């Protein structure tokens, strides 16, 4: 979809912003450009839509050199989202979203219908937010509008320049979640600029790490960048805590789970105790295999049924969720384990404990180091220091 062939940007004073950059972005891929301030990542993005002209090399979009396309026409075929949104303050939110369709000549009813659809897509009610003006929205809502406007004429390519950096951390996390949900629906090719390695790891299919002077240091998957930094610069940039960051890109899989005793809501307490064996507790399921909670050996004393003694389980995740999310659930609920549910039908599949979470992280590192599947990794037992 996008290809940089030995692209450089050199200014008249001799400053080199980008140095002989070569990389390719596949169709439907979300590639994050990351690095310290002044490393050329925003310049790289702006050369794609010719807000900055390259000094040398070629940039191809769908096989066509961007220098062979009229800049205005080129930009109207790409979505562009910037940090401060750039909404027109004198136009309503719905009219802001309809700006590009209006410029390319869409009829009024078609562009207004498209604006309403896109507001719904980014989680805003068109009846409530459509008639408002930008100053009447929160920062996070304005960022959503910026994304909606960028999607207005259904461009195959989105350019996003630090779009979430101007909002507080809580809103930023919410916007990232919403953006990942949106990308699952629209499957756009996206070039995304950020200075935040955690954001890059969370969002990117691949990450391009830049050093000063626009030198590309590594271009790989988030897991590879964290697990096998290609240069000392990358290792320093991602930080000594890259193992913790890796939690964000390591999903919970079947191989990571433990399988404690399982009982049903309508089982007798006596049967539940027998099922527990040497365990002090059991997972409780409903008749459809869904998670109902848990019951302890102490709580199972008496002649009643499990339904009367079950305790609700607040900490749970879906299979495929990140280890970071699972760890967060453990901390939030002060839980010694997290239930894992099947993503398609919410049926219970097992539990993740602190020890199995740690093992999953180790397994992920070993899998990337030796280029094998996670389920083929055999971990050596760490000896007890005592």
My answer on whether 245 and 266 are in the same domain is no
HSE, CB side, 13 Å, CA atoms: give it for residue 41.
Answer: 27
CATH value at residue 214: 3.40.50.300
List the domain range (segments joined by +) for residue 54. Answer: 2-249
Q: State the CB neighbour count (10 A cutoff) for residue 110.
A: 11
**In angstroms, rounded to a whole number, what is the distance separating the alpha carbons of residues 109 and 357?**
53
The 3-class SS string of 121-172 reads: HCCCCHHHHCCCCHHHCCHHHHHHHHHHHHCCCCCCEEEEECCCCCCCHHHH
**In angstroms, rounded to a whole number, what is the distance separating the alpha carbons of residues 173 and 43?**
26
CATH value at residue 266: 3.10.580.10
Answer positive or negative: Cα dihedral of 219, 222, 225, 228.
negative
My answer on whether 106 and 30 are in the same domain is yes
DSSP letter (8 states) at residue 28:
T
Q: State the CB neighbour count (10 A cutoff) for residue 317.
A: 22
My answer on whether 261 and 243 are in the same domain is no
Beta pairing, strands 348-352 & 338-341: antiparallel
Among 222-231, 251-260, 352-361, the range scoring the smallest mean pLDDT is 222-231
Mean pLDDT, all residues of the chain: 90
My answer on whether 271 and 187 are in the same domain is no
Is residue 332 classed as helix, strand or coil in its secondary structure? helix
Is this structure's pTM higher than 0.85?
no
The residue from 189, 215, 249 where one domain ends is 249
**In angstroms, rounded to a whole number, what is the distance separating the alpha carbons of residues 50 and 44?**
10
Helix (H) or strand (E) holding 191: strand 189-194
71 within a domain of the structure (yes/no): yes
Q: In the beta sheet, which residues pair with residue 160?
A: 81, 192
- Helix crossing, 169-186 with 108-121: angle to 10°? 120
Structurally, the chain folds into a number of domains equal to 2
Helix (H) or strand (E) holding 112: helix 108-121
Question: Does pLDDT of 386 surpass 50?
Answer: no
My answer on whether 224 and 291 are in the same domain is no
Query: How much is the average pLDDT of 324-351?
Result: 93
156 within a domain of the structure (yes/no): yes
**In angstroms, rounded to a whole number, what is the distance separating the alpha carbons of residues 54 and 48?**
9
**Residue 258 and residue 350 in contact, taking contact as beta carbons nearer than 8 Å:** yes
pLDDT digits over 271-304, tens only? 999 999 999 999 999 998 999 999 999 988 888 9
181 within a domain of the structure (yes/no): yes
User: What's the confidence (pLDDT) of residue 176?
Assistant: 87
368 within a domain of the structure (yes/no): no
**In angstroms, rounded to a whole number, what is the distance separating the alpha carbons of residues 363 and 256?**
9
**Residue 272 and residue 282 in contact, taking contact as beta carbons nearer than 8 Å:** yes
22 within a domain of the structure (yes/no): yes
Pick from 154, 162, 149, 156: nearest CA to 192: 162
The residue from 215, 249, 283 where one domain ends is 249
Q: Which residues contact 198 (CB under 8 A, 6 or more apart)?
A: 245, 248
My answer on whether 219 and 333 are in the same domain is no
DSSP letter (8 states) at residue 352:
E
168 within a domain of the structure (yes/no): yes
pLDDT band at 121 (very low <50, low <70, confident <90, very high): confident
Per cent of the chain over pLDDT 90 is 61
Q: How far is CA 71 from the centre of its chain?
A: 31
My answer on whether 195 and 261 are in the same domain is no
371 within a domain of the structure (yes/no): no
My answer on whether 163 and 88 are in the same domain is yes
My answer on whether 171 and 237 are in the same domain is yes
pLDDT band at 143 (very low <50, low <70, confident <90, very high): confident
Pick from 262, 276, 241, 236: nearest CA to 361: 241
My answer on whether 301 and 189 are in the same domain is no
My answer on whether 240 and 346 are in the same domain is no
32 within a domain of the structure (yes/no): yes
Angle value at C-alpha 95, between 94 and 101, nearest 5 degrees: 110
The residue from 249, 271, 305 where one domain ends is 249
Query: How much is the average pLDDT of 11-19?
Result: 94
User: What's the confidence (pLDDT) of residue 169?
Assistant: 80
My answer on whether 229 and 292 are in the same domain is no
């Amino acid at each position: 979809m996008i290809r940089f062939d030995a692209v450089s940007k050199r200014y008249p004073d001799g400053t080199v912003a980008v140095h002989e950059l070569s990389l390719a972005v596949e169709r439907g891929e979300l590639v994050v450009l990351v690095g310290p301030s002044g490393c050329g990542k925003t310049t790289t993005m702006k050369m794609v839509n010719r807000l900055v002209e390259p000094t040398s090399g070629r940039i191809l979009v769908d096989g066509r050199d961007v220098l062979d396309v009229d800049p205005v026409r080129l930009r109207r075929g790409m979505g562009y989202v910037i940090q401060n949104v750039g909404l027109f303050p004198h136009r309503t939110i719905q009219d802001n979203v309809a700006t590009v369709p209006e410029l390319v000549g869409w009829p009024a009813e078609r562009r207004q219908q498209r604006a309403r659809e896109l507001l719904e897509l980014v989680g805003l009610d068109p009846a409530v937010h459509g008639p408002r003006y930008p100053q009447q929205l929160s920062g996070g809502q304005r960022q959503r509008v910026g994304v909606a406007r960028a999607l207005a004429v259904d461009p195959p390519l989105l350019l996003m320049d630090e779009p979430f950096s101007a909002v507080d951390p809580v809103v930023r996390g919410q916007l990232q979640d919403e953006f990942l949900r949106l990308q699952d629906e629209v499957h756009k090719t996206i070039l995304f600029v950020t200075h935040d390695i955690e954001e890059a790891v969370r969002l990117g299919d691949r990450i391009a790490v830049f050093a000063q002077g626009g030198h590309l240091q590594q271009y790989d998957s988030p897991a590879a960048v964290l697990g096998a930094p290609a240069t000392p610069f990358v290792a320093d940039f991602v930080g000594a805590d890259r193992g913790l960051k890796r939690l964000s890109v390591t999903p919970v899989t079947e191989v990571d789970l433990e399988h404690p005793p399982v009982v049903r809501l309508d089982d007798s307490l006596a049967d539940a105790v027998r099922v527990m064996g040497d365990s002090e507790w059991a997972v409780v399921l409903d008749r459809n295999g869904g998670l109902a909670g848990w019951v302890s050996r102490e709580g199972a004393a008496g002649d009643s049924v499990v339904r009367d003694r079950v305790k609700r389980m607040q900490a749970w995740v879906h299979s495929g969720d990140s280890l970071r999310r699972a760890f967060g659930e453990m901390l939030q609920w002060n839980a010694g384990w997290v239930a894992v549910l099947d993503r398609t039908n919410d049926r219970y599949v097992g539990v993740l404990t602190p020890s199995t979470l740690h093992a999953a992280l180790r397994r992920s590192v070993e899998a990337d180091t030796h280029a094998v599947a996670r389920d083929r990794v055999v971990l050596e037992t760490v000896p007890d220091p005592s």
